[in-house]
Structure 1
Amino acid sequence: MRRLIAVASVVVLGACSWLPNHHLDYRKAESIKPMVVPEGMVFIGEKALYPVPDGLPAPVYSHAKKDDIPPPPQLAVTAQESEDTAQEAAPDTDPTNTRVVLARDGSGYPIIMMHTPFSWAWEYVGQALAATDMKIEDRDRESGIYYVRTPKELDVEGREAQIKLSLTANGIQIAVLDRKGAALLDKEPGQQIIQRLYDAL
């Protein structure tokens, strides 16, 4: 059976070379005289039915207009870049003069607002947490998160919570998230954690 298949393959492949090949015949084509139409008749294909008029000349670049090119649009910046830009724009601002406000968000969850650059707020919160009865187990400055272990009396699930720092239009917002960081911590234990942090700040 295999021998039969092999023989058939050779025959089929060889047959391809027996077919005439005319793909280069266009090179042998010769120019002929235009078709002559009898008087009183019109050959439609001789001229375009809808001739395209000459358009306006293409604009020519002028060196006199090189300064008229609009600047590129401003790209989006990260929170850290925005913070650095703000510090450069106001070099005389004293970052150590920090205003800390204990407040609530639109849903009634306790938060802290700090009016200071993110880098300073990050340091202040770290020092304040170290001064409380909560223990810092890990930290992620790029995400603005402190992972803390809470005391037993706060009744926090797994005794784990996240302190989240977010850069907003009104300053640095500090909120307390659950152990997974998926939602805000319940208001009662969240208020106790925020109050401890606020007192230490």
Structure 2
Amino acid sequence: MKAVLGPLAVCVATVSLGGCGYIFGDDGYFRDRGSDYQLAEVEPRMKVPEGVESKQVGDLLPVPGELKAQSGKFSTPRPQPMQAGIGGEDFSVQQDGSRRWLQAQRAPAESWALVKQFLADYQVSAAREMQDPGEIQTEWLAFDKQSDNPLVRRLLPAVSEGRRTDGQEQRLRIRIEPGVRSDTSEVHVLQMSRSEGSDQSDWPERSQDSKVESAVLAELETYLNQSSEEDVASLAATRIPVAQRSELVRDGAGNPVLRMNVDFNRAWAAVGGALERSEVVVSDINRSSGVYYVDLSQTASERERPGFFSRLFNRDQPEDEQAEPRLQVRLTEVGGEIQVSVDQGIETAADAEVARDLLTRVRDNLN
């Protein structure tokens, strides 16, 4: 019997090794395809036929000018995050129903500095500047008396038909808010008018002349897209950062919570980005319930994806045998603001010290 088992074991081992080569080798079904991109060919750029107008489109996935083939095994370089906006522009006007804003692929602090430079170049004085929120209110402009002002000249043709400019004065409120994505911002414009000599000062909920608002956003879009990288760098030293819109407080039960004065969409994106920058492992999410499930037993960089055989042999185990203890980072809308809490379950708060430490890490990585 032993004489038979020996050769049989050798045969099984040989077949197994050969089978592994067939499955995982260079010619195997699950071979490493990380270097395949080096064999790709660059196709000529598409040309638009003559006589057809087309907006120039930049390269969304630019390829380095020179690639050197490398022998042996190496780590495929990760692409750099794309910061260009639609059509290769960093600033673009967006509209949702009657709401309009300027979407900026820039951090709020950079957008703040550029908007201030825009007002300076167009000779519009700021009556009030507030860091929290990032807001600039202009002085009143008399369109009939300041027709030589650069901004007034651009806005006069946009005044709605039937609206007077004589005896009227206008002002703008420009607000810079954090965008939904990390390192982006939104620029909102509100316009109001009043009769000269009036003491009316309360801002309306919406612009009183939507066409003037649209013209200001369009002018901002053109101006900011023409601003070069050097312009941004030169303003970086003097830029005024948008203040944090979050505060670590305690709720009625004495549990630590992070209070955020933003809407849910921005809070959800900001907290997700902060958890990623904190290297907190997010094992699952439930956006409809506003919950990130996190694992604090290891950092994201320490966590390794299970191997093929580990996933294969563990897939039939009951879920509770594989699951690691998780905490819930929960976002709840309360009174027009968002409260971020750390829970052990839907009705059980996490340990106060653990929750405070995690919320502090989230707050410190929001921007």
Normalising by structure 1, what TM-score? 0.48
User: More strand per residue: 1 or 2?
Assistant: 2
Higher RCO (C-alpha under 8 Å, 6+ residues apart): 1
User: More helix per residue: 1 or 2?
Assistant: 1
